[in-house]
Amino acid sequence: MTPLSPPEAAAHRAALLDWYSRHARDLPWRRDPRPWHVWVSEIMCQQTRVSSAIPYFERFIARFPTPAALAAVDIEAVYPYWAGLGYYARARNLHAAARQVAQTHDGEIPSDPEVFGALKGVGRYTRGAVMSIAFGHREPVVDGNVVRVLCRLLAVEADPRSAPVQRGLWASAAALVDGERPGDLNQAVMELGATVCTPKSPTCLLCPLQGACVARATGQPERLPVKPARKAAAQVALVAGLARDDAGALWLARNPDQGLLGGQWRLPGLPADDPQALTALGLTPTAATPLITVHHAFSHQRWTVAVYPARGTPRGGDFVEFRAVPEAALDGLPLGGPALKALRALGLKIKARRGAGR
């Protein structure tokens, strides 16, 4: 793709900033855009809708008003304030980065883009967002909303995930942000994608870039960005055991931090069709038929999990920890999607988890 030229970028920048000044949503981190607030909000809003993230942000900041406050607690104390947002690696990375800030930077978030970008879990997008919004650096951002806006504006007909297109998108974002109010400019493009240039039924007549948008001129803006054909997801059958200790607490297993459902808790189980496979985890199934069978789709796998009543104390497998958890404490744990579905279907009361998207 051909990136935006400086004159094009300058014209679009003026239109975007004018539009943003009049239409920006009133969000708590925008009212008080100190670096910690911006950082936390950006991490929470990755894979989570803004409207869903707001109450979590407010509770989180009330409990952890500074990086030092977050660094001072163990990660287990963080999970109750994150439970429901999902994607718990975000919480673990933010916690680890807060400890880096506390230990290496005297509790102050670095204003240097290179130094901030070296913190745990800070990628190119997070670096650009925090550095531009909180510190006024002319650092670009490219997220799903920015991709959609630029691909439609420039009629990008190639896979937006390909390396050449990625380079063009970042170059265009850099051209846009190379001017006044870089933080507002980045937020304007993301806001436009979230509220006007939406995946379906975009409201083009409200868009400040409508006169320059090639996709609008074709009359088919929804066709872009190009969506490459997905490979068929692998089908995976698993068995899991519903077992309790002598006090009635439910046995759960924690996954390793890396990999699918990293660091999350689930019912002890493993890939298999036969419930007797649970004996490898120290559990004995007490019925030949499952209590419940749940289905859960990931981007590359589709799980079918048969949950059997079982007795015993789980051990072994690829898990890093087993814990007997009272039902009242389940809300404070990072539970994986399949476990959530199974436990809810079995009548346990667990708060709803929030949806994805900005």
Give me the active site residues, please: 42
| CA–CA dist 333, 349 (Å, integer) | 13
- φ and ψ of 249, to 5 deg: -75, 150
| CA–CA dist 148, 338 (Å, integer) | 31
3-class SS shares of the chain: helix, strand, coil, % to 5: 45, 15, 40
Please name the residue ranges forming H helices in 136-286: 144-153, 163-177, 182-195, 214-218
| CA–CA dist 316, 227 (Å, integer) | 42
| CA–CA dist 268, 318 (Å, integer) | 10
**Residue pair 226/295 in contact by the 8 Å Cβ criterion:** no
Residue 201, sorted as left (phi over 0), alpha (psi -120 to 50) or beta, turns out to be left
| CA–CA dist 251, 266 (Å, integer) | 9
| CA–CA dist 162, 234 (Å, integer) | 23
Tell how far CA 183 is from the center of its chain.
21
